[in-house]
Structure 1
Amino acid sequence: MTSSASPQAATSPIRVVVADDHPAVRSGLVALLDSAPDITVVAEAADGDAALIAARAHRPDVVLTDVRMPGATGIEITPRLRETGANVLVISGFDLDEYVLGALAAGADGYLVKTEDPQRILAAVRDVHRGDAVLSAAATRTVVGALRSRAGGEERSVAAGPPAGVAPSFTGREEDVLALVAQGLSNQQIASTLFVEVTTVKSHLSHALAKLGVDSRVQAALWWQQHRS
């Protein structure tokens, strides 16, 4: 079977660790990812502790992790996975609010449900590897609902950020980039909109994330929607 090559195929493949405690599900995800010419699975894990060990040993580009596993959950290990330099894509059989919001607050770069189309899962791995955010339709509804609850006066934490009342001092370009991130634009789309290089967008976004004290563009987008929209 002939596959169309993606932009990543010309360079080194995206290295992925897959963590899921259900052998059949894990095998299915591994087979799906390995079927793509630009993605390779470097390790598998059946629980949170094993996922951390694999990430530290293999230094993958992306960790695809289930939200509920024996021992440490996907949400609990997300901050430590990010410390290895990996982007984190949470995939779950559940779209319950506490899982979605918990994963995003922990710094996950995306949240998908396992009923997603296989091609959507492959695209999501590529997107988070590029530094873009990925949310399933169900996860998006959860986030929107949480933001509306907050706007209505109900306290509900959706994203990390500076202490209440503390406004970060952004440059004009950082403000521009954050506003476009909050609209769901990718780095490439932001670069085209602002007529700058993608590396410039990444630099501005990195500085803005540091000022916000958050780890992912999803958290930055949620902060912006809560405080600037």
Structure 2
Amino acid sequence: MSLHSAGPRIRVVLANDVEVVVHGLAQMLAPYSDIIEVVDLDVALEDPSGPTADITLYDTFSQGQADGDGIDLTLEDDRGGRLVVFSWNTEPDLIQKALQKGARGYLTKSLPAAELVAALQEIHTGQIVVQPGPDHHPTDPVGGDWPGRTKGLTAREAEVISLVSQGLPNHEIAVRCRLSINSVKSYIRTSYRKMGVSTRAQAVRWGIEHGMLPRRDRPGHQEQERSRTGG
């Protein structure tokens, strides 16, 4: 894949409620501002007649995978253009499920920024792009950001602690992250050591203080939360 900057910029919405994640993605794309224009999600949701996007980049951090309801609600909003899943969970069944639901791409977070932008360009032209390929072995993200990174948390650990901070029990975290219950417990143990905490209550407080919670004031968030909880 190669980059080209001819023509109008591609308008991209970054769909995630965790501010650190959104800012990290925006910074990752900033060097390619001649190709990509990042559209503010809040403005788009507040004003139905306001900015629309060509592509919605759906970052799965802390908000469920392609087999969950979050992506369905995002797909329902046609102002977001083509939806592309951005995740480190690259199991073939998740990729297939996303494409069946209507996603136009599935991109691994191990992509360098230039390759991510090139993939978005191809999707913008109408192609369906899946990166990783079939022989890909998942790794931690090489770009973007996540809460707790400066404290030593890996992206996987940060997502688990984000869900702990939201009050989810271990078995729900395992389902949300597509991990075994033993893996969830292992991530929690290693995270606790890095965070300097020993109890779940302390971990929740740490998560709140370090930006682990999604924004509750974002337009549309309450609808998504009601769908997730069945309320």
TM-score, with structure 2 as normaliser: 0.47
More RCO (CA 8 Å, sep 6+): 2
TM-score, with structure 1 as normaliser: 0.48
Higher share of residues assigned helix? 1
